[in-house]
Structure 1
Amino acid sequence: MRNSTRAARICQSFDAAEKYDQAATVQRVAARELFQRIHTCMAGKKPLRILEIGCGTGLLTEHLRACWPDADILATDFAPNMLARAKSRLGESVSYHQMDAATPDVNGPFDLICGNLIMQWLPEPAKVLRTLAELLAPGGVLAVSTLLDGTFAEWQQACAQEGQQAATPVYPELANAQNWRPPAFSGGWAEQDIVQAFADGLDFVRHLKATGASTPREGSVPLSAVQLRHVALRFQQAGCAITWRVGYACFRKPPRKGVFVTGTDTGIGKTLVSACLVRRWQGAYWKPLQSGLADEEGDTPTVKLLAGDPPCFKPAGAFLAPLSPDAAARAEGVQIDPAQLVLPQGEADKPLVVEGAGGLMVPATPDLMMIDLAQRWGLPVVLVARSGLGTLNHTLLSLEALRARQIAVAGVVLSGPLNAENRETIAQKGKVRILAEVPFCAEITPDVVSELAKLFPQWDDMCPE
């Protein structure tokens, strides 16, 4: 629960900031940067409904309205005077609502939820983002910015040189903010340093008050007038510049229930794991690209048999040669059309298990690898890996590749004899959940799959909504 006394002080401070727009240089830069990231993340999609939290005087709102004039934008803020200033800026083209972002009282779904430089004011930011995530439509974007550790470092140093502790808030480190991502969402954080020059130390203090950002850290002791003058002198001697370290996050909700199953190698057991997941979740199955049909009937009939006749979507491409999809298609004189590689939306009430071809760096088309498709589809990834010798390098490299693309990882499945040492190393070094350990089976039948499926988590435990 929010500290109501501190929340009230923050609200009063922003309400009293009558000269906010004249002073809000960094806030304006951050709003523009956040909007540009939102625009990139939307990838040409026009949001129909937008919720903005902590809209302030409408610096970000103005960008949203200019880009998407037909969108239904709901601008919210905890401070009523801030809402009034936003309305003065934007008029009736936007809807307004007084709301604490920590306890939203609006109804979704929204295609975009965003807020500029608000998360640092919230006591439980990860919880707030999870709550907001529930208001997003499938495939919706959640985009926020926050101040990070390193903000006001020059002022803090000046205070320390005088034997004082700065009253500036404690801001999160980027590594901690990475943990705020809602479960199963793709995306992540980036940071930017914005340096602002001031005439002197007192000018900086007045600036904080003018922007409503002067609420001190809880439990801090105010500087006396003499102490403040000494700190201001130290600050001036150091150059009168302040760094604002801003973190920007864009998270995307999966477009539907489901996972993307890939492996550290071909023949690693992806199809067996896919069948187990479909059986466990009573889900649906899609093998978008199938090759090697000259030697076998393919993975779709196999899963259909082993998982109890689940709904299966037709592959977008099926080829004879046991090669990568791109090479197999070229061997038949055809080219895979990326426009056909669209995530099925049928059976929307069932989790969809999408099985990739080979590993992450297998060419799917002349221009796309399997990891590109995983990123495009936006489903959390289940990585299937061998349990024995050699798995550590392959598995940890695959996890590193997924995280470099900011793709959500649901977990790892280890295939083969139990190996406690490798399991522990992958879980610890890879910072990943081990979903199941699937032993070698001499014969794979529907009954065997039914028993193996019990080793896997239920859907709600796997990807909580």
Structure 2
Amino acid sequence: MNSRRGLFITGTDTDVGKTQVAYGVAAALTHHLGIDDVRLWKPVQTGVSVGEENADSYRLRHGSRIGNQQEEDIVSVTLPDPLAPWIAARRSGLALDYHHLVEEGKTRLAQGGMWMVEGAGGLGVPLTKQHLILDLAKDLALPLLIVARAGLGTVNHALQTIAYARQAEIEIAGIILNGYQDGEEANVKDNAMMIEAFGDVPVLGILPWMAEEADDAWRMAWAATVAERVNLHQLIGLERN
């Protein structure tokens, strides 16, 4: 089976660690699976400026340490207000051109390589007055990687996200449960079992909480953790159960 040309990475909620998982997967694919030319794209980010250390574009570039993409190339639209893109754009006096964003995405995908495309929040986040993140994921036609919390409440959030994606006929590559604390692993495995049983979607990894740090040693440790605990081959379509 040929590998996928990329993944659209979404979360079940805000602050589930989607960006950290995204750059960890990119780094693990590059440095541990030996896949050349992994690329990153953040279509829209809000509440930051390019170059700020808390900007998703900055974290994607510096957290993954792959390729030669500059931060300005990783992100397409940056809006200052920490709100859904539709409202953040409106408050800035701008109008997001959804169709231009889709065409840009398709152009990037046509360049080759394996793309890790990170959405903004979850699938139900409004991009424009007429479009949600769900629509962008569908129009880019990339399989979905869902990042979910590890703990209590994640089964409900995960199943709702799965159902929403299926309603739009979006392929789901799998789910990663992120951020379990010491002593919680048994409960998280039960959560994974329930998600697989009721959602009919594979949980491809269970990741521990690792507070993000800026040094290279931490980045290498995080990439190694992702490589060890996530089924990367199945994630990118090189194998299926």
Give the TM bin, normalised by the shorter chain: 0.7 to 0.9
Tell me if 1:277 matches 2:25: yes
How many Å separate the matches in 2 of 1:347 and 1:278?
A: 17
Tell me if 1:432 matches 2:201: yes
Structure 2 counterpart SS, 1:410: strand
Letter of the 1:428 counterpart: A
TM-superposed CA distance for 1:372, in Å, is 0.6
Change (3 A) 1:461 1:336: closer
* Residue 136 (structure 2) aligns with: 373
Tell me if 1:261 matches 2:34: no
TM-score (norm 1): 0.43
* Residue 66 (structure 1) aligns with: none
* Residue 453 (structure 1) aligns with: 226
* Residue 65 (structure 2) aligns with: 308
Structure 1 counterpart SS, 2:75: coil
Change (3 A) 1:428 1:353: same
Change (3 A) 1:396 1:335: same
How many Å separate the matches in 2 of 1:459 and 1:296?
A: 31
Structure 2 counterpart SS, 1:359: coil
* Residue 329 (structure 1) aligns with: 89
Structure 2 counterpart SS, 1:279: helix
Change (3 A) 1:297 1:461: closer
Structure 2 counterpart SS, 1:416: strand
1:122-201 correspondence to structure 2 within 5 Å: none
Q: Deviations over 1:171-221 (max 9, x none)?
A: xxxxxxxxxxxxx9xxxxxxxxxxxxxxxxxxxxxxxxxxxxxxxxxxxxx
How many Å separate the matches in 2 of 1:434 and 1:355?
A: 19
Tell me if 1:353 matches 2:116: yes
Change (3 A) 1:461 1:320: closer
The answer to whether the Cα contact below 8 Å between 1:265 and 1:385 also exists between their aligned partners in 2 is yes
Root mean square deviation of aligned Cα: 2.2
How many Å separate the matches in 1 of 2:166 and 2:8?
A: 15
Tell me if 1:292 matches 2:47: yes
Change (3 A) 1:335 1:459: farther
The answer to whether the Cα contact below 8 Å between 2:27 and 2:66 also exists between their aligned partners in 1 is no
How many Å separate the matches in 1 of 2:156 and 2:132?
A: 20
Change (3 A) 1:404 1:331: same
The answer to whether the Cα contact below 8 Å between 1:336 and 1:365 also exists between their aligned partners in 2 is yes
TM-superposed CA distance for 1:314, in Å, is 3.5
* Residue 108 (structure 1) aligns with: none
* Residue 410 (structure 1) aligns with: 173
How many Å separate the matches in 2 of 1:397 and 1:353?
A: 23
Tell me if 1:364 matches 2:130: no
The answer to whether the Cα contact below 8 Å between 1:306 and 1:449 also exists between their aligned partners in 2 is no
Structure 2 counterpart SS, 1:363: coil
Gaps of 5+ in 1: 1-129, 135-183, 185-255
TM-superposed CA distance for 1:367, in Å, is 1.0
Gaps of 5+ in 2: 31-37
How many Å separate the matches in 2 of 1:303 and 1:448?
A: 16
TM-superposed CA distance for 1:458, in Å, is 3.2
The answer to whether the Cα contact below 8 Å between 1:382 and 1:409 also exists between their aligned partners in 2 is yes
* Residue 384 (structure 1) aligns with: 147
How many Å separate the matches in 2 of 1:436 and 1:365?
A: 32
Letter of the 1:279 counterpart: A
* Residue 35 (structure 2) aligns with: none
Q: Deviations over 1:310-344 (max 9, x none)?
A: 35444221111111111111111101011321311
* Residue 238 (structure 2) aligns with: 464
How many Å separate the matches in 1 of 2:222 and 2:136?
A: 28
How many Å separate the matches in 2 of 1:314 and 1:335?
A: 20
Letter of the 1:268 counterpart: V
Structure 2 counterpart SS, 1:280: helix
Q: Deviations over 1:107-153 (max 9, x none)?
A: xxxxxxxxxxxxxxxxxxxxxxx9xxx8xxxxxxxxxxxxxxxxxxx
How many Å separate the matches in 1 of 2:208 and 2:234?
A: 24
The answer to whether the Cα contact below 8 Å between 2:28 and 2:224 also exists between their aligned partners in 1 is no
Letter of the 1:446 counterpart: R
Q: Aligned residue pairs: how many?
A: 212
Tell me if 1:398 matches 2:155: no
How many Å separate the matches in 1 of 2:235 and 2:100?
A: 32
Identity of aligned residues (%): 32
* Residue 33 (structure 2) aligns with: none
The answer to whether the Cα contact below 8 Å between 1:316 and 1:340 also exists between their aligned partners in 2 is no
TM-superposed CA distance for 1:298, in Å, is 1.3
